[in-house]
Structure 1
Amino acid sequence: MGLLLLVAGYFTYGKLVEKIIAPDGRPTPCKTKHDGVDYVSLPHMKNMLIQLLNIAGVGPVIGVIIGIKFGEIVFLIIPIGNIIAGATHDFLAGMMSMRRGGANLPSIIKDNLGKTYYSFFAVFMMLLLLLVVAVFINIPAELIDKTFPQIQIFWAIVGGIFIYYILATLFPVDKIIGKIYPIFSALLLVGTFAIFVALVFSLFGNPELLSESAAFKEKMWTAANGKPIIPLLFVTIACGIISGFHATQSPIIARTMSTEFEARSSFYGMMVVEGVIGMIWAAGGLAVYNLFPETMSIKATDVLMKITGHFLGSYMGVITVMGVVILAITSGDTAMRSLRLSIAEIFKIDQKPLMKRFLTTLPLILIVTALLAWSNKSADTFNQLWNYFAWGNQVLAASTLTAGAVWLFRHGKNGFIAIFPAMFMTFIVLSYILWISPAHGGPIGFGLDLNLSYAIAGVISLCFLGFAFYKSKKMAGVTDELLNSSDIS
């Protein structure tokens, strides 16, 4: 049912969003700013695969394996949230970037929410991307290490992945990313499809496999045992429903698309595909929790190994795990590239010369090295890294959707497709930060009572709604063409 909702949503709601945004035949950034490095025309299919791998980090696998502990309702929330919020978010982020010459997310925020908000947001986004790079080095290295337990290779894999990230950050987009992503995509899709087929065949012998068993219900997450679905689910399952990280990635292919008419399939469509991936892995997680209830209390990466080993066996299981490794690596490399591009844009550093690209990247290398050393001191430090990444990611989502609403309203278009999910995600993030604490099983937060957190978050969210309408009215009639020509932002 959920898979059908995703497909139907692409052809219905996705078409409505496209009609509102109205892509047209104007020249795209790869033609107006061609530099042979970041602004390069790539084929449509290659752009779609790059976008899919850019956005589909470990969230639609690790995140949903954790999130399915909330039960079968996840199979409904993922597709609905994906279609209304997540895919709309990605489409808007990509189109706003294209219309502003391939601008990165901080510039888009400054255009629509003002310089004061931008000053906070730019720093916050770059800190988050640094966490993404560190997380997406750690997780694939851990998975590879567990796949081959007979040899100790964790730190060697960490070093190898990090070196690849640096090269992918420095080289022109068509030289590494553009060449290897189609191969990586094939491996990812083969592994995910194998899990789907195995689950379908297993259902013939055990029709209750994807229902909530009695053993599962005893351990599933509920508000009664300290795991309220709001806000926790929408922070846990980021990438399958909505992820602000995607808005940092969309400008990469906004700079390589030859026509705006490719936008719905490249941005909205690839988020829908990510939702499909998330649904399949959520099903795998629920199946394993039903078959082996003791796995409810182990790490998500270990559950992943259990899913692949049980349903696919050792050989195909290794291929599938490598597909998940690719998900992480192909988001980590472009996260680091986005950092370079954002820093260069903020400080107006020409990125055509290799030496300037390297010097822009060098501070990032040093900071990520320090984060890797810290995060691997213990399991607790890594969990802290993941938790801050999870809620910080949704701060980006709420900000991007709010900026998208202002962008649409100031062009005289229906901004409600963005403002409603924007306010919902603002409420989610605020209530999470106000409620979460070590006592509530998470990182440091305010630790307030849940209902009080809801009330305060609701009031502040309404204030943000007023802020969005104020900015929309203030900037009414300010077009992207005016911003591009005068750079008044």
Structure 2
Amino acid sequence: MITFIVSIALLVLGFVFYGRFIEKFFGADDSIKTPAVSQTDGVDFTPLPTWKVFTIQFLNIAGLGPVFGAILGAQYGQWAYVWIVVGCIFMGAVHDYFSGMLSLRNGGASVPELVGKYLGNGFRQLLRVFTLLLLIFVGVAFVSGPAGLLAYQTNGGFEIWVYIIFGYYLLATLLPINKIIGKIYPFFAVALLLMAVGIAAAMMINYWSGNFQMQELSLKGLKNLHQNPAQNILFPMMFIVISCGAISGFHSTQAPMMARCLKKESYGRYAFYGAMVAEGIVAIIWATAAMNYFGDANGLNEAMLPKAHNPAWVVNMISEHWMGKVGAIFVIVGVIVLPISTGDTAFRSARLTLADVFSYSQTSIKSRLIISIPLFIIGFVLTQLEFTTIWKFLGLSNQVLSVVMLWTVAMYLKKSGKNHWLLTIPAMFMTTVCASYLLVAPFANGGFGLDVKLGVSLGIIVAFIALGSFLYRTKIR
């Protein structure tokens, strides 16, 4: 219980103190007009109340990520606590804040345009393709998953639910942001928060009533407890599995959408840094619940051994056992509605990104259709792939995007005459994580299967090569 409470407290304190430091370090200035004010078009550039921007950003970046990712990460043991807390405060929330604020300062620009401005046109062209693919795969993943669950629960056809979800996605992508997303999503965000708070409350009540014990963080517990450690290597694989809640490149694709709705720069700390901290809290709650409901991480691993037992099964077990019928409702909202609310904003972000590429105005419904229809055709074709294939692509590519964004912000800081090491160190760490994953992960997980010590050593070398290239480019400029 102490570990759980301290973890939550550290995340809150991180928002209050480190978040305020990052805001001052960036130099948020309310005298500068935001794109929502200077470029209002009633479609994508629309001023929204700060609480709505926060809840929409939180829902866009969260969905199932801090629930399923935290449960899968909890299989590795207590290192999940360390990574979520440290990663969220010093990497993820900083990454999200700068992603949003740089977009704000650049007219609501999408990720490829920001990367191109600070890292060069080559990176711009690469990121245009990479980001679009990532967004489409996120959208497809959050069509296939909910469609499969709905088909199972209603005994209906998978393809019928795919059509229904895609139909909704098309509406949410085309309509002005304040018509569906601005009206409904704040309530979905509240539902996600209530779901997490309900689980936390039930967990503490069960602990105080003596129904189960809660593991505390200890040096002995800081080891890989996964049931198959040879295939699930603690470093770097856990740092890929737990992205939402610690650091996630996908968040940088969502920040520009909300940067186009923010009224003042000072609200950025709440909308971007604060939303990420809220996600970290949700991740801590679910990682703790998963580890302790089954006794410990070893118990969780044993419970997950049957093929049919996955994170959705864990959510169902914990929610219904601790919260009864209310828990069952939370399961439906959490496992079906929330991923849909992330998938549609992924497609909307893809539309905005593609529009930025061609400098194509999105004020008319016709222009939005011209860009959206091809995206949805590609997305529908990709739903025919195995869900596991889609998900494997997402894991690593998500963190690769976070690496690119961290180096982009580091370059911005260097060009602005500020201390770039604040972002350079996280960029080096995540470069090591991604490079090591590619080298040491088994072939089945998309890696080359090298010896762990060799692979991680090479990953560190790659990070220092990236640092050398960064410093050389800044010196040339």
> 1: distance between equivalents of 2:28 and 2:223?
50
After superposition, residues 208-247 of structure 1 pair within 5 angstroms as 208-210=213-215, 220-221=225-226, 224-247=229-252
- Taking the aligned partners of 1:361 and 1:75, their CA distance within structure 2 comes to 40
The alignment partner of 1:327 has SS state of helix
**What one-letter code is carried by the residue in structure 2 that aligns with 1:365?**
F
Q: Which residue of 2 aligns with 1:296?
A: 304
Q: Which moved more, 1:408-417 or 1:240-249?
A: 408-417
Shift of residue 35 of structure 1?
A: 1.2
Query: Is residue 388–residue 443 contact of structure 1 (8 Å, CA) maintained in 2?
Result: no
For the 8 Å contact 2:36–2:47, the answer to whether it is kept is: yes
Match of 1:329, as an amino acid?
I
| Aligned match of 1:451 | 453
**Separation in structure 2 between the aligned mates of residue 65 and residue 57 of structure 1, nearest angstrom:** 14
**Mapping of 1:79-478 within 5 angstroms?**
79-145=85-151, 148=153, 151-152=155-156, 154-204=158-208, 205-206=210-211, 208-210=213-215, 220-221=225-226, 224-290=229-295, 293=300, 294-297=302-305, 298-374=309-385, 381-438=386-443, 442-475=444-477
Question: Given residue 282 of structure 2, which amino acid in structure 1 is its aligned partner?
Answer: I
- Other-structure match for 1:50: 56
The aligned amino acid for 2:408 is: A
CA shift at 1:211, angstroms?
Answer: 5.4
SS at match of 2:294: helix
* Alpha-carbon distance in 1 for matches of 2:345, 2:474: 31
Equivalent residue letter for 2:247:
I
RMSD: 2.2
Unaligned segments of structure 2, at least 5 residues: 1-5
> Residue by residue, what CA displacement relative to the aligned partner does 1:374-401 show, whole Å, maximum 9, x if unpaired?
2xxxxxx321211110000000000001
Letter in 1 for 2:235: I
Using a 3 Å threshold, how does the CA distance of structure 1 residues 23 and 356 change in structure 2: closer, same or farther? same
* Cα contact 1:190–1:320 (8 A) shared by 2: no
Distance 1:141 1:219, change over 3 A: farther
Task: State how far apart, in whole Å, the 2-side matches of 1:473 and 1:309 are.
Answer: 58
5+ long unaligned stretches in structure 1: 375-380, 476-489
Q: Shift of residue 354 of structure 1?
A: 0.7
Q: What is the total number of aligned residue pairs between the two structures?
A: 462
Q: 1:289 to 1:388 in 2, by over 3 A?
A: farther
In structure 2, the CA distance between the partners of 1:224 and 1:389, relative to structure 1 (3 Å rule), is: closer
In 2, the alpha carbon distance for the partners of 1:290 and 1:142 equals 30
Moved more, 462-471 or 236-245: 462-471
The more displaced of 169-178 and 134-143 is 134-143
Q: Deviations over 1:391-437 (max 9, x none)?
A: 00000000001000111111111222211111111110111011223
> What is the alpha-carbon distance in structure 1 between the residues aligned to residue 396 and residue 250 of structure 2?
11
| Displacement after TM superposition at 1:448 (Å) | 1.7
1:289–1:296 CA contact under 8 A, matched in 2: no
Which amino acid letter does the alignment assign opposite residue 175 of structure 2?
F
Aligned mates of 2:406, 2:228 — CA distance in 1: 28
SS at match of 1:366: helix
How far apart in 2 are the matches of 1:461 and 1:94? 25
Aligned equivalent of 2:3 = none
Counterpart-to-counterpart distance in 2, 1:155 and 1:290: 39
Query: Equivalent residue of 2:304, what SS?
Result: helix
Instruction: State the alpha-carbon separation in 2 of the partners of residues 415 and 406 from structure 1.
Output: 7
2:431 is matched by which residue type in structure 1?
A: T
TM-score by length of 1: 0.90
Percent identical among aligned pairs is 37
Give the Cα separation in 2 of the matches to 1:310 and 1:29. 47
